[in-house]
Amino acid sequence: YGGAFGLGITRFLGCGSGQDNKAPCGLAMGVSSHGVGTASLIQNGDPDTAALASVGMILTGVFHTLLCATPAVRNAVHALAR
C-alpha cells in the first residue's frame, strides 16, 4: 500500500503537475512511492523527474541496507522476530 499512498500524497502536494521543482518532487516520489511513483512520472512524460525518483529509490535502498547491517539494529530486528 505504500506505493499508492505515497503517490497520492505527493500528487496532493503538487508534485507531477509540470510546474514544480523537479529535484525535490522526484526524490520525494522515489522515496515515498517507489516504483509506482516512478512509473507514473514516466507515463506522464516527465523523464527528468522520473530519473530523480530512481535516484531516490536507490539511495533509500542503500540507506536501509546499511542501517540493517549495523549490529544494534540487526539484533533489535532479531529480538522482535522471536
Torsion angle of C-alpha atoms 37, 27, 12, 8, degrees rounded to 10: 30
CB atoms within 10 A of CB 64: 11
List strand residue ranges (DSSP E) for the chain, in order.
none
The one-letter amino acid code at 19 reads: Q
Instruction: Show pLDDT as tens, one digit a residue, over the chain (82 residues).
Output: 566 677 777 777 777 666 667 888 888 888 888 888 888 888 888 888 889 999 999 999 999 999 999 999 999 999 999 8
